[in-house]
Amino acid sequence: MHARIHITLKNGVLDPQGEAVHHALGSLGFEGLSNVRQGKVIDMDIAGDDPDAARASVEAMCQQLLANTVIESYQIELTE
Amino acid sequence: MHARIHITLKNGVLDPQGEAVHHALGSLGFEGLSNVRQGKVIDMDIAGDDPDAARASVEAMCQQLLANTVIESYQIELTE
């Protein structure tokens, strides 16, 4: 199975990377932007065919390593 | 409109971050993983209601600033 995990800063947490991107885009003439936020995406292939087991495993990965759950939230998408 | 942009390394480009994540997950006992790749996700709100104009604008942002198109590819998702 293929898993795609989005890890993004929670709302209200300052995002200096997003601010920098917003500012740089403004310098290039892109206007009308707001709420520019940058996060991480992690893709992986997981052996096995059981979506429930795969989701539980990815949840554990996020909790233990991939996300800092104090300031980040994560979303998991599984595809065949 | 809301835009979500995924920026990922092209296939074949070495991904040390993905390797590090893969290795760290292995150390924690997560097995059966392959093709672990890490990329960026950028979210933003764009003023206006024209999806074609928004897409063209985001394409230009990716080409000019957000992605290094020599080694990275990008995907754009627009939602209302």
Q: What is the CA radius of gyration of chain B?
A: 16
Q: CA of B63 to nearest chain A CA: how many angstroms apart? A: 12
pLDDT the model gives residue B17: 96
* Interacting residues of A79 by C-beta distance below 8 A, sequence separation 6+: A1, A2, A4
Provide ipTM, 2 decimals: 0.91
Q: Which residues does B contribute to its contact with A (CB < 8 Å)? A: 6, 8, 18, 21-22, 24-25, 28, 30-48, 57, 60-61, 64-66
Nearest residue, CB atoms, B28 vs list A25, A39, A65: A65
Q: What b/e sequence results for B37-74 when a residue is b if at least 16 CB atoms lie within 10 Å of its CB, and e otherwise?
A: bbbbbbbbebeeeeeeebbebbeebbeeebbeeeebeb
CATH tag, A2-79: 3.30.1280.10
User: What residues does each domain of chain B span?
Assistant: 2-79
Residues of chain A contacting residue B24, judged by C-beta atoms under 8 Å apart: 65
Mean pLDDT of A23-28: 98
- B4-63: pLDDT as tens digits: 999 999 999 999 999 999 999 999 999 999 999 999 999 999 999 999 999 999 999 999
- A38-47: pLDDT as tens digits: 999 999 999 9
List A75's β-bridge partners, or say none: A6
Report CA-CA distances (Å) from A31 to A22, A25, A28, B12, B68. 9, 8, 9, 35, 22
pLDDT the model gives residue A80: 87
Question: CA-CA distance, B60 to B68, in Å (whole number)?
Answer: 12
